[in-house]
Amino acid sequence: MANMSYCRFQNTRPDVEDCLDALRDEKRLSTDEAKAGRWMFDDILDFCRDMGIIDSYDAGMLEALFDGLTEKEDDDDE
């Protein structure tokens, strides 16, 4: 269900903090989770760039971050 407009940021912030903790802890991600995470950060960073908050960001580094955390099929065999 979508967040109500009067509390969308309040409701979303704990989830974003959980996502950041997972990245900091280098938690393994499914392929779908890694794609969703990368797209989410792409959207946020594009917004920040478009609003003049940041000048640019390294999209390749962002991709490498999520690729490095993606569970590979071979990981299941270990």
Report how far apart, in Å, the C-alpha atoms of 52 and of each of 38, 46, 47, 55 are. 21, 10, 9, 6
Whether 49 and 56 have beta carbons less than 8 Å apart is answered as yes
CA 20 to chain centre: 8
Look at the pTM and tell me if it is higher than 0.85. Answer: no
In tens digits, the chain (78 residues) has pLDDT values of: 666 888 999 999 999 999 999 999 999 999 999 999 999 999 999 999 999 999 999 999 999 999 999 998 765 554
**Given this model, what pLDDT does residue 72 score?**
85
Output the CA torsion sign for 18, 24, 25, 26: positive
